[in-house]
Structure 1
Amino acid sequence: MSYSNLTIANMQEEVQRLSTNWQTLLDAMPEMVFLLRDDGGVEYMNRSAKACFGFPCNDQAAQSLHAVGKRCQEQLGNRGKGTESGNVGTVESIIDTTPVEYSSVPFVGYTGEKLIMLVMRDITQRKKFELELLQFNTSIETILQQKIGELQASEEMRNKLMRQVNSLKSQLGHHHSADKMVGRSRKMRELREMIHQVSGSDATILITGESGTGKELVANLVKATSNREDKPFLKINCNAINDSLLEADLFGYEKGAFTGATARKIGKFEVVNGGTIFLDEIGDISPRMQVALLRVLQNGEIIRVGGNEPVQVDVRVIAATNVDLTQAVKEKKFRLDLYYRLNIINIDIPPLRERKEDIVELVSYFVNHYREAFKKEIDFVPKSIISRLLEHDWPGNVRELENLIQRAVLMAKGKMITEADLMFDQDPRIEQKGNDSYEIDAKLGLTPLKSIVADFEAVIIRRALDKFSGNVATVATQLNIGKTALYDKMKQYGISAKRTKQKGKG
């Protein structure tokens, strides 16, 4: 054999060795690898690809790969003109009936032929999770009941499901690190969409809602998603500061404006110039403060206490109140022109009783928070507790629920919350009705008869327990009702005889 023939033979052996090596390497990869020819035909499939689609591929899979190959040729050709590699990134598709994602690069075979390499992953499991998320959003109550049942079955399964749900929630739209609001109900999704829609402007925002709904959380998210995110942000509770002090605090004062004013003082509006100020409890400010605030909103200027010269400021105002400002305007307690200036954009927060599907998530959040704070080992909330929480009307909204869970976690003796640990706050709306009357006029036409009667019945039971110092047996006798039936009604209305006894001792 000649030297040249020997060299050629060695080269052929080397080529064969290299070919075997890279095929072995590709067969060891968990991802599927395909080499496609210019005509879309399959030149090579690694072991993972054969396991998924068979070898050779069925007709439907082959047609799908052919279409993918043509698409990759066009994209690689277009992008390859401006880039070194022509890589088109990751793409999702369906091969036969299997959902996949793949990336593609041009590949030159050892004999010089031009091929396309596809590196592909089966994403069936991920699509399954996405479907679960869709079901979570559209049928929350069904999913919650299913999850609760699974949580009762196994602690390991509970932890696994929690990780999955958290992962799926992170894929929901409008997610921001400053979003501390808990809940994925339809009303909460609409609230988040509203916030993200209006936060980018500099328009004044009025946040309304009942006490305890989380108006400050909304204000925080508005600021964090606005164009003034990196600018100063101050929060003022207008109801916590004396009126004259509030004016000086917000607008500043000149030297000699009043006793003790020994030097000029810059107010909050000047300090936060360029940023955002949050005025909570805006419905409680005095007529004089209303005039001063109107000047800021109309002209962008303030006048320091004791001064005459206006000072220009650039501040975005976010206001909040649980007062019905329209009624306050009718009663001449609030200026109509200021109301219009504040109410350019109104964000109304739904009360908890209108989004009860969020209660399970809120309970989980507060239990996790307070078990860490109190060094407790609580890891389970029974279904009976959840059902009772879902039945409650929550006049104090999320704040009332948080207080309830905080007390329950603190009082719990074991690893789970029990009925004995739940101590509901007395409904402040019932206290306002007085000792000898029950107002129904406000409910007529708005509340079903069954609910009105139930509220009236709860009032009677509470007053009877107060009168007889929480003695359930005596109350049952006086009301001519069985003791068991009375306990059932107390449970239904969230009434605790223990708290009545404690109140009587106090």
Structure 2
Amino acid sequence: MQIEDISRLSKNQQSLLQAMDEMILLMSSAGEIEYMNHSARTFFGELQEQSYSKDSEISRLHNRLRDFALSAKNNTTCSHKTSCTFNGCDLEFRIAPFIGYNGDNLFWLVFNNLTNEKRCQQELGRFQQNLESILIHKINELKESERVRKSLLRQVKNFKEYLKQSRPQEGGGLVGTSSIMCNLRDMVLQIAKTDSTVLITGESGTGKELVVDMIHQTSNRNDRPLLKINCTAINDSLLESDLFGYEKGAFTGAQERKKGKFEVVDGGTIFLDEIGDISPRMQGALLRVLETGEVIRVGGNLPIRVDVRVVAATNIDPALAIKKGSFRLDLFYRLSVLNITLPPLRERKEDIPDLVSHFLDKYCRAFKKGIENISETAIEKLVQHDWPGNVRELDNVMQRAVLLSKNNILFKENIIFDSGERNTSLKKDVSLSSITRNGSSLKGMIADFEKEVLLNKLDTYHGNVLQLAEALQIGKTALYEKLKHHKIRPRSLR
């Protein structure tokens, strides 16, 4: 290789070294600094000139570099890396020993200033630490909030249980805060202490048996038995022997004397459910017991004195039954010394949220479910229903909703009404007889019939006007005009 080429390569090498950001030093085996690039001169300053005092920091660095270089003298293939500090800066350097062209031992020292990098790492570490602290704090806050929420839920449940246990006689199972229910409870508490007969009327599923329980629990006979008899569940001939007893040989199979229910429950209360469905002959026999306070066993002659309070219930209209002749007027008077009429659920819809809460708590315990609440839309759906089955139907709907729910909140979709029962607040009975009974003109009856059809079909298609127009085979514009005329809002039926 010619001298010009060597000179050119040397200059190129020096230009490359001068342009590098790393601090490059060349050290001889004697520890003398023979070369420093621009970055090294800027950082180390007087290191190459050795014009520093022996006790200075740069002197200590020079000695350390010399010792480190000598320890790597015999290894010319590996690059040694270590770290040090200088003027408060964190440095990392590598040493690469090699043989010079004169055969002497030389060492390349390549320095990197890691001060900024370490500072960034420290700041990042502090940021991560602070972020972790914040997250841990927030997580602890959420855990504490959840703990407080669960504690409050337990307290509410315990308080409800306490109220139920501490006031078992004040409301019994009659749930509701409406004025109707408050007046009903007051009436029951007022008549419970008497021994007069009570007739409970109301639609099926309104809670007549709960009233009977409350009457018995708050009466002076609460330490005596309460016997409940469904009069329609027993054959008429068997009902007489069941209520009044029979003598030995009174009929085939009467092998011995048997007391009737009135004798068994002597001193207590007997509840005769569905009293309006018993035969006229049984009505007469029951009337005699109520008038005399005595029973005569089937096949017997001797009257037996009994002290029994009679509470009866029926879901038929007594006045209508008397008019038809299927119910004795004198028996009605004997039974209805005190008369309690239970309102249907549709007439006390303000009690639905209380009933829902009651059934939700009841079936969560029964099915071991963790449902804590019910959505407003679900409550609204329940309130809009007409409840032909009254409280019994609501009981079934809530039992089904709790059993099938997979969340801790009951939503609108969980509320499924019994099949075959229609929500009369949404669906209308489209019958000519119901419309013609209104006594309006032909034009008015046709308009009423049209409105009923629109309401019925809108409910079928869940308020979808397009589907309704296709089903009725009329244009959307004409359909909207008819809906506007009848003041029907499709959105309310969705």
Q: What range describes the TM-score normalised by the shorter chain of this pair?
A: 0.5 to 0.7
Q: Which amino acid aligns with 1:229?
A: N
Q: Does 1:159 align with 2:150?
A: no
**Partners of 1:178 and 1:224 within 8 A in 2:** no
Q: Does 1:427 align with 2:421?
A: yes
Q: 1:326 aligns with which of 319, 331, 348?
A: 319
Aligned to 2:391: 398
Q: 1:240 aligns with which of 233, 242, 256?
A: 233
Q: 1:200 aligns with which of 184, 193, 201?
A: 193
Q: 1:365 aligns with which of 358, 370, 386?
A: 358
**Partners of 2:175 and 2:351 within 8 A in 1:** yes
How far apart in 2 are the matches of 1:231 and 1:301?
A: 19
Partner secondary structure for residue 439 of structure 1: helix
Q: Does 1:186 align with 2:182?
A: no
Q: Report the CA distance between 1:189 and its aligned residue.
A: 0.9
How far apart in 2 are the matches of 1:283 and 1:491?
A: 44
Deviations 1:271-293 (A, max 9, x none): 11111100011111111110110
How far apart in 2 are the matches of 1:357 and 1:267?
A: 43
- For structure 1, which runs of at least 5 residues remain unmatched after alignment? 1-153, 466-470, 495-506
**Partners of 1:385 and 1:419 within 8 A in 2:** yes
Partner secondary structure for residue 257 of structure 2: coil
Distance verdict in 2 for CA 1:160–1:310, change over 3 Å: closer
**Partners of 1:205 and 1:344 within 8 A in 2:** yes
**Partners of 1:329 and 1:335 within 8 A in 2:** yes
How far apart in 2 are the matches of 1:401 and 1:303?
A: 43
**Partners of 2:375 and 2:412 within 8 A in 1:** no
Q: Which amino acid aligns with 1:347?
A: I
Aligned to 2:270: 277
Q: Report the CA distance between 1:331 and its aligned residue.
A: 0.3
Q: Which amino acid aligns with 1:460?
A: N
Q: Report the CA distance between 1:213 and its aligned residue.
A: 0.9
Deviations 1:458-491 (A, max 9, x none): 98349968xxxxx998666314598xx99x9899
TM-score (norm 2): 0.58
Q: Does 1:439 align with 2:434?
A: yes
Deviations 1:103-135 (A, max 9, x none): xxxxxxxxxxxxxxxxxxxxxxxxxxxxxxxxx
Q: Which amino acid aligns with 1:384?
A: T
How far apart in 2 are the matches of 1:232 and 1:286?
A: 27
Q: Report the CA distance between 1:377 and its aligned residue.
A: 2.0
Partner secondary structure for residue 263 of structure 2: helix
Q: Which amino acid aligns with 1:214?
A: G
Deviations 1:54-110 (A, max 9, x none): xxxxxxxxxxxxxxxxxxxxxxxxxxxxxxxxxxxxxxxxxxxxxxxxxxxxxxxxx
Give the 5 Å matches for 1:81-230: 155=149, 159=153, 162=156, 166=160, 176=169, 179-230=172-223
Q: Report the CA distance between 1:223 and its aligned residue.
A: 0.8
- For structure 2, which runs of at least 5 residues remain unmatched after alignment? 1-147
**Partners of 2:385 and 2:423 within 8 A in 1:** no
Q: 1:343 aligns with which of 329, 333, 336?
A: 336
Identical aligned residues as a percent: 51
Q: Which moved more, 1:235-244 or 1:154-163?
A: 154-163
Aligned length: 327
Deviations 1:337-364 (A, max 9, x none): 0000001100111221222121111111
Q: Report the CA distance between 1:382 and its aligned residue.
A: 0.8
How far apart in 2 are the matches of 1:455 and 1:219?
A: 44
Aligned to 2:406: 413
How far apart in 1 are the matches of 2:413 and 2:206?
A: 26
Q: Report the CA distance between 1:375 and its aligned residue.
A: 2.5
Q: Which amino acid aligns with 2:371?
A: I
Partner secondary structure for residue 368 of structure 1: helix
**Partners of 2:246 and 2:298 within 8 A in 1:** yes
Q: 1:354 aligns with which of 335, 341, 347?
A: 347
Q: Which amino acid aligns with 1:396?
A: G
Distance verdict in 2 for CA 1:491–1:171, change over 3 Å: farther
Q: Which amino acid aligns with 2:240?
A: E
Q: Which amino acid aligns with 2:153?
A: N
Distance verdict in 2 for CA 1:313–1:403, change over 3 Å: same
Q: Which amino acid aligns with 2:421?
A: D
Give the 5 Å matches for 1:482-497: none
Aligned to 2:254: 261
Q: Which moved more, 1:322-331 or 1:307-316?
A: 307-316
Distance verdict in 2 for CA 1:170–1:176, change over 3 Å: same
Aligned to 1:296: 289
Q: Report the CA distance between 1:374 and its aligned residue.
A: 2.0
Q: Which amino acid aligns with 2:307?
A: D
